[in-house]
A and B are shown apart, each in its own frame.
Chain A
Amino acid sequence: MISSDGEKILFQQAAEGNEQAFGALFNLFLPRLYPFIIKLTRSESAVQEIIQETFIKAWLNRDKLAEMENPGGWLFRVASNKCYDHLRARVLNDKFFKPITTDPEQQNAPHEWLDAKELMRLVGEAVHTLPAQRKKIYLMSREQGKTIPEIAAALQISPHTVKNALVTSLKLIREYLARHGVIFFILNFFLF
């Protein structure tokens, strides 16, 4: 499946920090990801965790997604990797590939991977550790929803500098997460 032009435009807008565009992508891909994952995991909480982590990862790679040939394919790829991790964690706990149990909540994902809540907190910390000027620019974009030209005008710097600061910030955030055990680069060869 190749991403349509409409999808690509949404990925580009999301890369600029446009939350509506990212929301639209979420709603576009949720119904495509959900049915398979629920059938595979048979656990509502596992699906939620897998999808949440997939989209957190997409959000924090928004700059890269916009440059990809097939960003939709990347989302599927990330989700299926997480599915596999989930299955493996279950098998290692001797729970998977047994005949189906009746109580799906008994099959909750074991907490072997980083909890989504913990992940969100780490992201906040990553923002905290950005150098002062970059943090200021990043939060003007994220917290106040300002666009690149608006930030440039407010700080009297060039839009190019603002854009660079935003891209570098995202990179630093991912690096911070990587140092704390969240591996966001495992799929690097799918990125380009």
Chain B
Amino acid sequence: MDQQRLNYLLQQYMAESATAEELEELSTMVRSDAHSDLFKSLLAEMMHKEAPAFPADRERWQQMQQDIMQADRHSVQPQHAAPARVVKLYRWSAAAAVLFLIGLGGYFWADQRHSRLLSAAETTIRDSVISTARGEQRGVILPDGSQVWLNSASSIRFPVSFASSERAVELSGEGFFDVKNAGRLPFVIHSGAITTTVLGTAFDITAYPQQKTMMVAVQSGKVKVEAGSRLLAVLEKGRQVKVISDTVSLLRNLDTLSIAAWRTGNLIYKDECVEDIAADLQRAFKDSISIKNSSLKQTMITLSFNKRDGLQHALEMISRTTDSRLSRKNGIFTIE
């Protein structure tokens, strides 16, 4: 194979004018791998000559750039045994899966599934589950190009490719969603008892299984939030719905910058109880926090910190605000 011939064949292919014989000739060559070096340098040369142009959807590419530099910014606990964080699973019925999500973390959930794999009615469609450990955050790109930024100690489950009727995922914990618009094809998030339906928008969902408060806050677009068949709210930009036990409260004129501020290391709490804030700080910092008395646990406060200032600083602010005492013993912080 001489360079000229290969060049000609590639040009023909790129110009979409290659004959069936020419395509076959190219395929045979690539399959045999015999002229890979020549092939690669021709590709590089053609790449150089192509007129530069920016791809559409620049925001997504900017995000990629951020993601790349994010890769070595944190240390991640290595996985030793079977892959725990990205697990391929056989799909059960959707109903069973939703039930499973309530009150269970990602790891346990994955293990359970493995042990019961054989008894499940098997289909060939497989799901992925991605989980974050405490102190860890990660970006996930879904099959439709939508992006999810998972906060600490959270997990998301989604199919390898979405169904034709809806794009359904399941979330445990907290995630910031940037959903790609796909015509009228809805994007549905099941998180505990709450179902959130959207068409294409950016918003934040908090639904940690052990926490009383569940929250959906919308940065752009329009979102529908339901509990079972009961409609809780239709939210637009800057609005938030908060469900505490059985009480539903709506918030307007939310500062959109404060939505999912955790993505940039900002921990912002508005009228949240000390217990939930401590649970959130535990997830962000991995340290254990103990709160001694129950009235303190239920005290509602408004505070904000940056993760960079450290846990000690955050807890000092909490103890100052609530007029309580902070101590540290055997690596456990105690507020009383």
Contacts and interface: CB of A to CB of B under 8 A. Distances in A.
Interface of A: 1, 19, 22-23, 26-27, 30-40, 47-48, 51-52, 55-56, 59-60, 73, 76-77, 79-81, 83-84, 87-88, 91-92, 96-100, 117-121, 123-130, 135, 138-139, 142-144, 173
Contacts of A37: 47
A26 B65 contact: yes
A32 B52 contact: yes
7 contacts: A56-B68, A80-B40, A80-B44, A117-B141, A121-B76, A130-B75, A135-B75
A127 B74 contact: yes
Contacts, number: 146
Contacts of B71: 56, 59, 119-120, 123-124
Most buried by A among B30, B47, B53: B47
Contacts of A100: 16
A35 B43 contact: no
B308 interface: yes
B85 A121 contact: yes
A97 B27 contact: yes
A173 B51 CA distance: 35
Q: 5 closest A-B pairs (Cβ-Cβ)?
A: A124-B76, A80-B43, A128-B75, A80-B44, A36-B50
Contacts of A52: 64, 67-68
A91 B53 contact: no
Contacts of A97: 13, 18, 23-24, 26-27, 30
Given A36-B47, A124-B75, A173-B72, A99 B52 contact: no
Contacts of B78: 125, 128-129
Contacts of A139: 73-75
Interface of B: 13-14, 16, 18, 20, 23-24, 26-27, 30-31, 33, 36, 39-41, 43-44, 46-48, 50-55, 61, 64-65, 67-79, 85-86, 130, 138, 140-141, 308
Contacts of A125: 75-79
Given A36-B50, A76-B48, A79-B47, A59 B55 contact: no
A93 B53 CA distance: 30
A59 B69 contact: yes
B99 to A, nearest CB: 28
Contacts of B36: 84, 88
Given A59-B69, A96-B27, A142-B72, A77 B44 contact: yes
Contact of A39 (B26, B50, B72, B79): B50
A186 B151 CA distance: 36
B72 A127 contact: yes
A33 B47 contact: yes
B205 to A, nearest CB: 21
Contacts of B53: 31, 34-35
Contacts of A117: 86, 130, 140-141
B47 A55 contact: no
B54 A30 contact: yes
B30 A87 contact: yes
A176 to B, nearest CB: 9
A70 to B, nearest CB: 12
B67 A120 contact: yes
A34 B323 CA distance: 58
Contacts of A127: 72, 74-76
B27 to A, nearest CB: 4
A59 B16 CA distance: 35
A47 B30 CA distance: 19
A127 B23 CA distance: 45
B33 A51 contact: no
A51 B68 CA distance: 11
B67 A23 contact: no
Contact of B72 (A36, A48, A73, A123): A123
Contacts of B46: 36
Contacts of B130: 117
A83 B41 CA distance: 11
B263 to A, nearest CB: 15
Given A91-B30, A125-B78, A129-B78, 9 more contacts: A26-B68, A30-B55, A35-B52, A55-B68, A84-B40, A88-B36, A119-B71, A130-B75, A139-B74
Contact of A30 (B61, B73, B79, B85): B61
Contacts of B68: 26, 52, 55-56, 59, 120
B48 A1 contact: yes
Contact of B70 (A23, A48, A120, A144): A120
Contacts of B20: 99
A34 B55 contact: yes
Contacts of B79: 125
